Structure 1
Amino acid sequence: MSLYHKLAARAEAGNPVRIGVIGAGKFGSMFLSQAPRAPGLHVVGIADLDPQRARAALARVGWPAEQYEARSVAEAMRQGTTVLTDDAEGLIASDGIEVIVEATGHPGAGIRHALACCRHRRHIVMVNVEADALAGPLIARRAAEAGIVYSFAYGDQPALIAEIVDWARTAGFRVVCAGKGTKYLPVYHASTPDTVWGHYGFTEEQVAGGDFNPQMFNSFLDGTKSALEMAAVANACDLTPPPAGLAFPACGVDDLPTLLRPAAAGGVLPADGTVEVVSSLERDGRPVFRDLRWGVYATFEAPSDYVRKCFSEYGLKTDPSGRYSAMYKPYHLIGLELGLSVASIAVRGEATGTTRGFSGDVVATAKRDLKAGERLDGEGGYTVYGRLMPARDSLRAGGLPIGLAHGLTLTRPVAAGRPVSWDDVSFSADDPAIRFRREMEEVFRGEAG
Structure 2
Amino acid sequence: MSSMNKRLIKLANEKNSIKVAIVGAGKMGKGLVNQMTRIKGMVPALVINRNVKKALYALLSAGIREDDIIVSNSLKDINFALERGKYAVSEYMDLAAKAYGIQAVVDATGVPEVGAKLSLDAIENKKHIIMLNVEADSVVGPILYKQAQEAGVIYTGTAGDEPGAVMELYDFAVGLGFEVLVIGKGKNNPIDLDANPDTVYEEALRKDLKPHMLAAFIDGTNTMIEMTCMANATGFVPDVSGGHGVESNIDNLTNIFKLKEEGGILNKYKIVDYVRGIAPGVFLIFTTNLEEIHKQLEYLNMGPGPNYVLYRPYHLTSLETPNTIYEACVNNRATIAPTEGVIADTVTVAKRDLKAGERLDRIGGYTVYGSIEEHEIAKKENLVPIGLIDENTKVLKDIKKGEFITYDMIELDTSKSIYKLRKLQEEQIG
- TM-score, reference length from structure 1: 0.90
The SS at the match of 1:43 is strand
Contact map agreement 1:21 1:47 (CA 8 A) in 2: yes
1: CA distance between counterparts of 2:166 and 2:160? 10
Give the deviation of 1:248 after TM superposition.
Answer: 0.7
Q: What amino acid is the match of 1:361? A: D
Partner of 2:358: 374
Q: Does 1:383 align with 2:384?
A: no
State the AA in 1 paired with 2:5: Y
For the 8 Å contact 1:395–1:441, the answer to whether it is kept is: no
The structure-2 alpha-carbon separation of the partners of 1:207 and 1:118, relative to structure 1 and needing over 3 Å to count, comes to closer
Tell me which moved more, 269-278 or 68-77.
68-77
Question: Residue type of the partner of 1:166?
Answer: D
Find the aligned partners of 1:257 and 1:37 in 2 and give their Cα distance: 40
Partner Cα distance (2:64, 2:303) in 1: 45
Q: Confirm or deny: 8 A CA contact 2:178 2:286 kept in the other structure.
A: yes
Q: Superposed, which structure 2 residues align to 1:19-418 within 5 Å?
A: 19-69=20-70, 72-186=77-191, 188-196=192-200, 204=202, 211-280=208-277, 292-318=278-304, 322-356=305-339, 357-407=341-391, 408-418=393-403
1 CA distance for matches of 2:235 and 2:204? 40
Q: CA deviation at 1:207?
A: 5.8
SS of 1:256's partner is helix
Q: Confirm or deny: 8 A CA contact 1:35 1:41 kept in the other structure.
A: yes
* Alignment match, 1:283: none
Secondary structure class of the residue paired with 2:19:
strand
Letter in 2 for 1:354: A
Distance 1:209 1:172 in 2: 45
Which whole-Å CA distance do the structure 1 matches of 2:39 and 2:398 have between them?
53
- Deviation of 1:53 (Å): 1.4
User: Which segment drifts farther, 259-268 or 41-50?
Assistant: 259-268
How far apart are 1:103 and its partner, in Å?
A: 1.0
Q: Aligned with 2:129: secondary structure?
A: strand
Deviation, 1:443, is 2.8
CA–CA distance in structure 2, aligned partners of residues 295 and 180 of structure 1: 6
Letter in structure 2 aligned against 1:423:
D
Deviations 1:336-381 (A, max 9, x none): 1111001111221111111111101011101233222232112111
Report if the CA contact (8 A) 2:157-2:334 is conserved.
yes
SS state of the match for residue 189, structure 1?
coil
Q: Secondary structure at the match of 2:193?
A: helix
Distance 1:428 1:352 in 2: 32
Offset at residue 208 of structure 1 (A): 5.7
Q: Is the 8 A contact 2:196 2:215 kept in 1?
A: yes
Q: Which secondary structure state, in structure 2, belongs to the residue aligned with residue 376 of structure 1? A: coil
Name the SS for the 2:40 alignment partner: coil
CA–CA separation in structure 1 for the residues paired with 2:96 and 2:269: 44
Further displaced range: 63-72 or 363-372: 63-72
The CA distance in 1 between the partners of 2:258 and 2:206, in whole Å, is 44
Q: Is the 8 A contact 1:21 1:43 kept in 2?
A: yes
State the one-letter code of the partner of 2:364: G
Distance in structure 1 (CA, Å) of the matches to 2:273 and 2:234: 13
Q: 1:444 deviation in Å?
A: 3.2
**Equivalent residues of 2:122, 2:128 under 8 A apart:** yes
Name the CA shift for 1:378/1:316 in 2 (closer, same or farther; >3 Å). Answer: same
Contact 1:242-1:389 at 8 Å conserved across structures: no
Partner Cα separation in structure 1 for residue 269 and residue 34 of structure 2:
40
CA offset at residue 257 of structure 1?
Answer: 2.0
> Cα offset for 1:209?
6.0
Moved more, 343-352 or 123-132: 343-352
Q: TM-score, normalised by structure 2?
A: 0.94
Equivalent residues of 2:232, 2:338 under 8 A apart: yes
Kindly indicate whether the alpha-carbon contact (under 8 Å) linking 1:44 and 1:73 is maintained by their aligned counterparts in 2: no
Q: Per-residue displacement from partner, 1:111-141 (whole Å, max 9, x unpaired)?
A: 1111111111101111100010111011110
Query: Aligned pair in 2 of structure 1 residues 348, 207: CA closer, same or farther (>3 Å)?
Result: closer
Alignment deviations for residues 35-66 of structure 1 (CA, whole Å, 9 cap, x no partner): 11111102221111111111123333433323
Kindly state the Cα deviation for residue 78 of structure 1 after the two structures are TM-superposed.
Answer: 2.9
Unaligned runs of at least 5 residues, structure 2: none
Query: Structure 1 residues 275, 210: closer, same or farther in 2, change over 3 A?
Result: closer
Report the alpha carbon displacement of residue 301 of structure 1 after superposing the two structures with TM: 0.9
Instruction: Decide whether aligned partners of structure 1 residues 373 and 338 sit closer, same or farther in structure 2, where only a CA change above 3 A counts.
Output: same
Q: Say whether the 8 Å CA contact 1:184–1:248 is kept in structure 2.
A: no
Deviations 1:243-262 (A, max 9, x none): 42212100111122222223
Give the 3 Å change call, closer, same or farther, for CA 223–68 of structure 1 in structure 2. same
SS in 2 for 1:216: helix
Helix, strand or coil at the partner of 1:62? coil
Gaps in structure 1 of 5+ consecutive residues = 198-203, 281-291
In 2, Cα distance between the equivalents of 1:256 and 1:192? 31
Instruction: Tell me the CA shift for residue 195 of structure 1.
Output: 2.5
User: In structure 2, what residue type is equivalent to 1:338?
Assistant: T
Moved more, 402-411 or 219-228: 402-411
Question: 1:42·1:80 contact (CA, 8 Å) conserved in 2?
Answer: no
SS of equivalent residue, structure 2 residue 183: strand
Q: By how many angstroms is 1:68 displaced?
A: 2.1
Distance in 1 separating the partners of 2:70 and 2:151: 33
Identity across aligned pairs (percent)? 30
- Do the aligned residues in 1 keep the contact of 2:23 with 2:105 (CA within 8 Å)? yes
1:130-161 C-alpha deviation (Å, 9 max, x unpaired): 01011101111011111101111111111111
Amino acid aligned to 2:120: L
1:143–1:150 CA contact under 8 A, matched in 2: yes
The residue number in structure 1 matching 2:18 is 17
State the distance in 2 between where 1:397 and 1:195 align.
32
Question: In the TM superposition, what is the alpha-carbon distance from 1:70 to its structure 2 partner?
Answer: 6.6
